[in-house]
Amino acid sequence: MADTETQVTAVLFDMDGVMVDSERYWHDEQPEHIFPQTLDGEQPDLDETTGMYYKEIYDYLDEEYETTISKEEFVDLFDEVAMDIYHNRVDLLEGFHELRDELAEREIPVAIVTSSPSSWHDIVIERFEIDVDEIITAENLDADGKPAPDIYEKAAEIVGHPPENCLVIEDSENGIESAERAGAVVVGYRAEHNADTDLSEADVVAENPEELREAILSRAE
């Protein structure tokens, strides 16, 4: 785990399951619709794939399970479901705009670091009028996605702060592992969709939006 006494000078938010409550819908859609159309027989536990770049999810499934459709078909299926989730279903994290404003007052940059492609996060940004300093997405990196550390190492480089001075907010085992391996301080965010997920590798766990706000602001001073 990172040294939580280190001064936090940048805050990096995962999008799915943190900034917006999309994972609750993905956790329904994947076992009920996507995996049955993709796999013959056994399905993965959701914690195996949550947080991964969706095109890498297919590669993982193709290696570990018995796929029945092509990668192109899988991507089209995921994209079709995503359009409905992000346009019509998700809600923004309670108090996000106020938290963003307070971090801006403290001159602390805020970035979104996501495995979702731009066609998905653009909907969220526009729909909820979100203003952040940077958006780093796995689709634009010539590197491995979460749980590899690459995306958070690159995010730290882009925001111009060492990884150890970055506070990462994550809700998945893959995301937490990625941020930890990059050397960041990690807050695990607990919600209904990940009630049974092991977040113990995070430096601290926040159980609701108010605890999350406190965990961020107490370290970003």
Residue 2's pLDDT band (cuts 50, 70, 90): low
Altogether, the residues listed in the chain come to a count of 221
CA 95 to each of CA 35, 111, 210: distance values in angstroms, whole numbers, following the listed order: 34, 16, 8
Regarding beta strands 166-170 and 204-206, do their DSSP bridges make them parallel or antiparallel, or are they unpaired?
unpaired
What average pLDDT does the structure give for the chain?
A: 95
Q: Give the right CATH number for 10-21+91-217 from 3.40.50.2000, 1.10.3720.10, 3.40.50.300, 3.40.50.1000.
A: 3.40.50.1000
What pLDDT is recorded for position 66?
A: 96
Domain-wise residue ranges, the chain: 10-21+91-217, 23-89
Q: Spell out a b/e string for 33-63, using b for 16 or more CB atoms within 10 Å of the CB, else e.
A: ebbeebbeeebbebebbbbbbbbbbbeebee
pLDDT higher than 70, residue 50: yes
What pLDDT is recorded for position 83?
A: 97
Residue 5's pLDDT band (cuts 50, 70, 90): low
What pLDDT is recorded for position 165?
A: 97
**CA gap 170, 135 in Å, rounded:** 15
What pLDDT is recorded for position 144?
A: 86
What pLDDT is recorded for position 19?
A: 97
pLDDT higher than 60, residue 3: no
Token pair listed for 50: 């949550």
What pLDDT is recorded for position 34?
A: 96
pLDDT higher than 90, residue 181: yes
What pLDDT is recorded for position 32?
A: 95
Tens-digit pLDDT profile for residues 80-134: 999 999 999 999 999 999 999 999 999 999 999 999 999 999 999 999 999 999 9
The secondary structure of residue 39, as a DSSP letter, is B
